[in-house]
Amino acid sequence: MHAVTQSPGQRLAVFLSGGRRGDFLALAAGGVLPLAFAPFHLFLLAPLSLACLFALWLNVAPRRAFWRGYLYGAGMFGVGVSWVFVSMYDNGGVGLALSLLLTSVFILFLSLFPGLLAYGLARVFPQAAPGAQNLKLALLFPAAWVLWEWVRGWFFTGFPWLVAGYSQIDGPLAAAAPVLGVYGVSLAVALSAAWLVLLLRAAGAWRYGAALGVLLLWGGAAVLNSVSWVQPAGAPLKVSLLQGNIPQDLKWLWDLRDPTMELYAALTRESWDSDLIVWPESAVPALYHDVEDFFDGLAVEANEHGSALLIGVIYQERDDGPYYNSVASVGGPEPRQFYHKRHLVPFTEYLPLESLLGGIVKFMQVPMSDFSAGHSAAPLAVAGQRAGVSICYEDAFGEENIEALPEATLLVNVTNDAWFGHSIAPQQHLQMARMRALEAGRPMLRATNTGLTAVMDERGRVQSRAPQFEVFALHDTVQPMQGMTPYARYGNAALVTLILVLLAAGGLPLWRMKTAGPAAKG
């Protein structure tokens, strides 16, 4: 018998992936992935990190595959969402020990996603033959990874943080976003990662095919980036985004209610030359009906100056009725309109499974809110345009933001990232808002309490940004847009269909090899 000659790449892969070395490498690769996202923006690390993971999943038993996927997730989420601790301990009133415990539980739970994915792939497709492993890399691993990202984006109301596609907002692959959304960009990242591994370990046609695939993927993205999907809608709009910089621990103090409202009113009066002025989430620290006269007075001033406002406020339907995290329109010929936040954050804006978890939360003394969810995505008519509004965390869900289209000619997000202090969360959150603008082909106005307040164009590029943790009025001009990107038209349906096709193309041959018996495995 002739000895099988291994390439240098194969020998290196065997050495690195062996036993505990491979486990440690999986943890390290996961820990590196968040560096591809804001505020670091090392976007090439995303395909390199996933390439390492996919290589470590080859030719291992299901238990080992699960462990490596789990370790990768622990590194990825342990570094990338460590800001959860800041929101609970520094600003949420939760004690140190409980904050550490809840943050750890959250990270370990999220780590189950890549762990279970790896286990399922190794259990269902255990083939170790070179041809089978090449097929896994070419199609199965990248498609399954993105499908699992998509599931994480809606399972248990969804947590789409650290979706690989966001890391590419400043790279060539971002051109896929208007076509297939952020998960389509993720698919391009995952395919690049898998084909990179094929380049290093495969031979012959597989290697040439992988090289051609990478060239076509990145070259095609560069061509796609020149396509314009939308057109201007009317004249440019002068806008002002107000940032009050109210510390989270002071925001709801009764004694500071009137000074806070006067601060925003003063910033507004300095911005009357703008067509649209936006205040951040719950900028008015009171129930709307308790301060309705204040809103009416602003409306009179706005009409005198030809301006309109969007203001974050808490809205209650009636005494003891449900209340909402809302945005109100003020000024202009239209009657006052409200957008009520639809996608609430579990455990902070409402308690899921209240009958089961209510006693536990009460025992642990975790502060809770009890908002109700709104139901309409209808844009608000302001300043002669229509604004698709989202509040805080809602801009993490692309499929929900496009519900305001095609009527909306611009997007507005109001948020309060003061919860996350000086952590990396506000930077990551801004990156997600940029992706929403690119997917929808609409400018995005993002007004925040402490930062990062920013104006983005329809390609997700930041036009201007306010300094963080300063009182600031950000003035800029945006071009409202009309028309529909492919993603705005079809949402995630096209991407999920494509993933299922790739899974079938890669999985069915492997399944036939598995069921055909040992004779077919050579």
All domains in the chain, ordered by first residue: 8-228+490-520 (no CATH), 232-343+376-484 (3.60.110.10)
Residue 360 is predicted with a pLDDT of 47
- Omega within 30 of 0 (cis) for the link into 518: no
User: Which residue numbers are catalytic?
Assistant: 281, 341, 392
Tokens 């990242």 locate to 189
Q: How far apart are CA 352 and CA 349, in angstroms?
A: 10
Residues of the chain with pLDDT under 70: 1-18, 352-369, 517-522
pLDDT, tens digit, for every residue of 307-334? 999 999 999 987 788 989 999 999 988 8
User: Dihedral through CA 328, CA 329, CA 330, CA 333, nearest 10?
Assistant: -150
In this predicted structure, what is the pLDDT of residue 15? 53
DSSP-assigned beta bridge partners for residue 474: 241
pLDDT of residue 369: 65
* Structure confidence at residue 114 (pLDDT): 97
Per-residue pLDDT tens over the stretch 236-256: 999 999 999 998 888 888 889
Report which DSSP code applies to 343: S
Where on the phi/psi map is residue 116: left (φ > 0), alpha (ψ -120 to 50), or beta? alpha
**pLDDT at residue 419, as a whole number:** 87
pLDDT at 3: 46
Q: Virtual CA dihedral for 67, 69, 496, 214, nearest 10 degrees?
A: -140
| Cβ atoms 416, 242 nearer than 8 A | no
The closest alpha carbon to 488, from 395, 432, 420, 406, belongs to 406
Confidence at residue 522, expressed as pLDDT on a 0 to 100 scale: 33
Residue 5 confidence (pLDDT): 56
